Amino acid sequence: MENLQSIDQFEELKKGERTIFVFSADWCGDCRFIDPIMPTIEENYSQYSFVKIDRDDFIDLCVELDVFGIPSFVAFDKGNEVGRFVSKDRKTQEEIEAFIDALAL
């Protein structure tokens, strides 16, 4: 999974098709819990681009997008937000896949 490097990169990526931003942090235990399953999810949903955003590096972006819990997922398509799975709760592979399946893309 690609790591976000700048706000400019975020603005460009969200204009693309089927991009899911994964908000995370190194110190977040629930984020580390999903790390081993993310490659499988990325493989199963290869029509999407997944981009990891370190919450600590991009706190202003998190505030702008109302992402106050991690791990969280926000999906964009052609510049429009098309779905979000945002909370501070631990997420399972099944919950993440259900979120992606529910995206109307």
> Active-site residue 62, yes or no?
no
- Catalytic member of 20, 31, 41, 70: 31
Do strands 19-24 and 2-3 pair parallel, antiparallel, or not at all (unpaired)? unpaired
- Catalytic member of 20, 22, 28, 100: 28
> Active-site residue 31, yes or no?
yes
Exposed (0-12), middle (13-18) or buried (19+): which is 43, by Cβ within 10 Å? exposed
Active site residues: 28, 31
